Amino acid sequence: MDLSVAAVTFALTRRAAELGASAMELGLLGSVMFGSYTLFALAAGQLSDRWGRRPLATIGSAVAAITAVAFAFSTSLPVLLAWSILFGAGIGGFWPTAIAWLGTGARGAALSKRLARFSMAWNLGLLLGFALTGIIFRHSPQLAFYVAGAGIVLVIALLLLPVPPPPVETGPALQPVIPKGRGFRKTAWLANFGITFALTGVIAMFPQLATSLDISADRHGLLLACGRMAALLTFWILQHLQGWRTRLWPLWVAQAVVVLALAGMGWFDSFWLFALALACAGAVSGYTYQASIFFTLEETVEQGKGSGFHEAVLATGLFLGPLLAGIVGQRFSLRSPYFFCAGALAVLIGAQLVVVFLRRNRVSLPA
């Protein structure tokens, strides 16, 4: 599914940039899809708790497959925007239900390991999607959308196969316990939102900068793949570590590194410096995503509702990042969105510190 999502988002924004889309138009293309995704993710997560995971995931995938192919037949911005809304609705019906399905019957270290494998899988999809779509797009923009549609049809076929329910797993008896009332879940949500907001804002604006610097479509795709490769490695590492589940300071330090990386993109002209910055941001996006999804599923009883909220937080960042970065780029300059995204992330790190300070002071007060 994420191979197809990567193919659609890359081909859509790259095509728009080559057609002369403004920063504002690129921001809209990147945001309306995930605005729709936010609304449908919240609804689908809760509905899957009542109606079952498989039916909603299948319906959402069918909508996404039809829309992915429809993109290939239009170069009109209003039409592309309309299809983007529908595509966001389709994947909004798929992901929260799939995540809740995956979390069934697992807790603690077993849940962490299962989620790490899941996250490595979808990141591998994004990595291949960006890398391959860049090559395909260079030869035929329409073919990139056909490949995306075919990938989602394969997802539907897999969803229709009969499978046994997930096994009940708890992991070893001795394992780190999430400190209660210390702000872990809310901090992870804010961190996931902040990184997603900043990184997707930068990625949405990058087609314009890439074309101005004569970075070809295939090399542009490889740059985005660098970020996903770094995230993939992060997910693999996190499943073998336990300390991140009981400490928050590494999360703040990691986000601070991304602030510097994204600000640097406002000055860079080198392909390799862009690759390094996106790799740093990608690695930290893997960390914040895993923290958010783990703390959410570990601490909520209605996992469909919890995964829907986790995905809605993520999608809100995907919606607002491109939209606001596009407004800034339209109002100021080609490079201004990179500084804006870095500054916004720095503010959100401060917000996380305030949340934890208030939570921990409240916990320490006598009843």
Burial degree of 106 (CB within 10 A; 0-12, 13-18, 19+): buried
- How confident is the model over 264-317, as pLDDT tens digits? 999 998 999 999 999 999 999 999 988 888 877 776 656 666 777 777 888 888
DSSP H or E segment with residue 201: helix 184-212
Burial degree of 169 (CB within 10 A; 0-12, 13-18, 19+): middle
The rounded mean pLDDT for the chain is 84
The pTM for the full model equals 0.74
Two structure tokens written together for 214: 């004569």
pLDDT for res 230: 92
The more confident residue out of 69 and 168 is: 69
Taking Cα atoms as reference points, which of 314, 317, 310 lies closest to residue 295? 310
Token pair 């829309």 is at which residue? Answer: 67
Question: Do the beta carbons of residue 1 and residue 63 sit within 8 Å?
Answer: no
* SS3 label, residue 240: coil
Burial degree of 182 (CB within 10 A; 0-12, 13-18, 19+): middle
The more confident residue out of 305 and 79 is: 79
* SS3 label, residue 106: strand
End-to-end CA distance of the chain: 49
**Spatial separation of the C-alpha atoms in residues 140 and 127, rounded to whole Å:** 20
Among 43-47, 247-251, 345-349, the range scoring the smallest mean pLDDT is: 43-47
pLDDT for res 173: 47
pLDDT for res 314: 83
Buried b (16+ CB within 10 A) or exposed e, 73-85: eeeeeeebeebbe
Two structure tokens written together for 138: 């260079």
Two structure tokens written together for 96: 């929260």
Q: What value does the mean pLDDT take over residues 207-227?
A: 88
**Spatial separation of the C-alpha atoms in residues 128 and 123, rounded to whole Å:** 9
* Domain layout of the chain by residue ranges: 2-161+175-364
**Spatial separation of the C-alpha atoms in residues 125 and 244, rounded to whole Å:** 25
Query: What letter represents residue 233's amino acid?
Result: L
Instruction: Considering the domain delimited by 2-161+175-364, tell me its CATH architecture.
Output: Up-down Bundle (1.20)
pLDDT for res 165: 67
Q: What value does the mean pLDDT take over residues 207-232?
A: 88
pLDDT band at 336 (very low <50, low <70, confident <90, very high): very high
DSSP H or E segment with residue 7: helix 2-18
Two structure tokens written together for 20: 């002369």
Q: What value does the mean pLDDT take over residues 1-30?
A: 84
pLDDT for res 105: 65
| Residues with Cβ within 8 Å of residue 259, at least 6 apart in sequence | 342, 343, 345, 346, 349
